[in-house]
Chains A and B, each alone.
Chain A
Amino acid sequence: MAETPPPTPSFAKQLERLEEIVRRLESQELDLDESLKLFEEGVERLRTMRERLTATEATVKRVLRREDSGGE
């Protein structure tokens, strides 16, 4: 199982991991158990990424107020 990831890992990180999974699966150096685990992780990531891409309605917009610029 994958380690519990932070709330929403960046899309770039998720995509990197997915590509790594595909590469490893294609390299044929794993046993069947490991392959299955990786495959499951890959499918799960693929699903959540697709969801993120298709479910988002509109871009969130925030306005940085002048007062904000002093804080944080």
Chain B
Amino acid sequence: MGVGLDLFAAASAEGAWSVSEVTRRARAVIEAGLPLLWVRGEVTGFKRWQSGHWYFTLRDRTAQLRCVMFAKENRKLPAAPPDGMQVYAFGRPTMWEEKGEFRLTVVELLSTEAGGLWQVALEKAKAALMRDGLLDPARKRPVPAYPRRIAVITSPDAAALGDIEAVVTRRWPLAELVLIPTRVQGEGAEADVCAALAALARVPKLDVAIVGRGGGSKEDLWTFNSERVARAVAAAPVPIISAVGHEADVTLCDLVADLRAPTPSAAAAAATPDREKVLEHLAHLGARLSRGLASRADVVRERLDRSLDDLEGAMALYLERCRHRIAAASGRLDALSPLKILERGYAVARDGEGRVLRRVAQLPAGLRFRLRVTDGEVPARVGDS
């Protein structure tokens, strides 16, 4: 078709073509002659319509090509190309009959610039997050030191999960892992990760969550560069440790997360204390406990010793006082002793029974009695006259 078209015949008096006939034919010719192809050019005059369709022009130094990219195709792209961006557009050249306009219906668009449209989307999302203060380092929450429950948001069949499990089991088996399975790449991953992050609020007693992903190509990281995922991370009810990036590529999720780990294993290590270290700390506390009590007991013992000394001193003093009083009493006793009177030359007369003879009537003539003088006793007799 199209080949050998006799334009002169068509324009003859028999009948001029209607506009629609021409444009329809032109469209047929164009579509038959030009297959789906890649076009390289600079984007200009970009416009997004209410319908979601994109309209723009591709140009090079000498020519321009009108382009449309329908919503159902451009939805797959992370961002719209800014004017001036060099792109590769894959599409079908055609005729837009209503406007009589030659154009390219684009189904795929790639930027030739580093990072491409993804970079554009990333910068836009980053700026939005920054504006809302979500990248502020002061927002970052500390990860609890001794977690009871750790949520893991990752693909259930990825190596990441096994790595995390192994590390937590070795370091801190006290913690319980709660897996929230999710797709981490491909269609639907974004919504899936967001739903998983929202589900954290329904896990009771949760201390921390790890969003993990092991390896994968750079393109697969884009789930974690989505603004939606980043906002869901920021809104999470517990601190989030992100382990989704590559060494070199930091994702938005990494930036918003409370802690960024290079690998899932590192994330698990950051979420848990080391059991051995904690046991060492406990041993140290145990030693301090015993020392504390021992020194406490020492203080009490010292006080007891001191009290005993005090007691002994008081006792000695008391005894000394007693001794003094006894000496004084004995002196006075001595002074009052009848023997003292005998010393002065007096004598006591007593009969055989020891009765003291005080009166004359008790001493009839011839009575034998005993006389006690200071240094002894002598027998005596009452005389006659």
Chain A residues proximal to chain B, CB less than 8 Å: 10-12, 15, 18-19, 21-22, 25-26, 28, 30, 32, 35-36, 39, 42-43, 46, 49-50, 52-54, 56-64, 68-69, 71-72
Bin chain B's interface residue count: 35 or more
Complex: A11 Cα to B290 Cα, angstroms = 22
Does B173 lie within 8 Å of A58, measured CB to CB? Answer: yes
Contact yes or no, B282 A50, CB < 8 A: yes
- Please name the 3 residue pairs, one residue from A and one from B, whose CB atoms are nearest each other, closest first: A25-B292, A56-B173, A69-B199
Q: How far is the CB of B196 from chain A (nearest CB, A)?
A: 8
Instruction: Provide the main secondary structure of the chain A interface.
Output: helix
Structural contact, B202 and A39, CB atoms closer than 8 A: no
A59 touching B173 in the complex, CB below 8 Å, given contacts A64-B151, A64-B199, A69-B202: yes
Known interface pairs A32-B296, A58-B169. Does A53 touch B278 (Cβ–Cβ under 8 Å)?
Answer: yes
A-B contact pairs, 28 of them (CB 8 A): A12-B146, A18-B282, A25-B292, A28-B299, A32-B297, A36-B293, A39-B290, A39-B292, A46-B285, A46-B286, A49-B282, A53-B174, A53-B279, A53-B282, A54-B279, A58-B173, A59-B176, A61-B177, A61-B178, A62-B179, A63-B181, A64-B178, A64-B179, A64-B180, A64-B181, A64-B199, A64-B203, A69-B195
Q: In the complex, what residue of chain B is closest to A70 when comparing beta carbons?
A: B202
A39 interface neighbour in B168, B181, B279, B289, Cβ under 8 Å: B289
A63's contact among B146, B179, B275, by CB below 8 Å, is which? B179
Enumerate chain A residues within 8 angstroms of B168, measured Cβ to Cβ. 59
Cβ A59 vs Cβ B169 within 8 A: yes
Contact B169 A72 (CB under 8 A): no
**Does B383 have its Cβ within 8 Å of any Cβ on chain A?**
no
Q: Confirm or deny: B24 has a beta carbon within 8 angstroms of a beta carbon on chain A.
A: no
Task: Determine whether B165 belongs to the interface, using a CB cutoff of 8 Å to chain A.
Answer: yes
Q: Are A26 and B146 in contact (CB under 8 A)?
A: no
8 further A-B contacts with Cβ under 8 Å, apart from A11-B146, A30-B296, A63-B181, are A25-B296, A26-B292, A43-B286, A59-B169, A62-B176, A63-B180, A64-B178, A64-B180
Are A46's CB and B173's CB within 8 A? no
C-alpha spacing A62/B195, complex, angstroms: 18
The residue of chain B having its C-beta at the shortest distance from the C-beta of A62 within the complex is: B178
Contact B288 A22 (CB under 8 A): yes
Which chain B positions have C-beta within 8 A of A19?
Answer: 285
CB distance from B16 to the nearest CB of A (A): 66
The residues of A that contact B181 with a CB separation of less than 8 Å are: 63-64
Residues of A within 8 A of B382 (CB): none
Per the bound structure, the CA–CA distance linking A26 and B156 in Å amounts to 50
The reply to whether A32 and B300 contact each other, CB–CB distance below 8 Å, is: yes
B295 at the binding interface (Cβ < 8 Å) = yes
B145 at the interface (CB under 8 A from A): yes
Q: Which residues of A lie under 8 Å from residue B289 when comparing CB positions?
A: 21-22, 25, 39, 42-43, 46
Q: Does B175 contact A (CB under 8 A)?
A: yes
Given A56-B173, A61-B179: A12 in contact with B293 (beta carbons within 8 A): no
Q: Give 1 or 0 for each of B179-214: 1 = CB within 8 Å of chain A CB.
A: 111000000000000010011001110000000000
**Nearest A residue to B303 by beta-carbon distance?**
A32
Shortest distance from the beta carbon of B246 to any chain A beta carbon, whole Å: 27
Complex CA gap A36/B278 in Å reads 25
Tell me the complex Cα distance, A39–B288, Å: 10
Q: Does B140 contact A (CB under 8 A)?
A: no
Chain A residues near B84 (CB-CB < 8 A): none
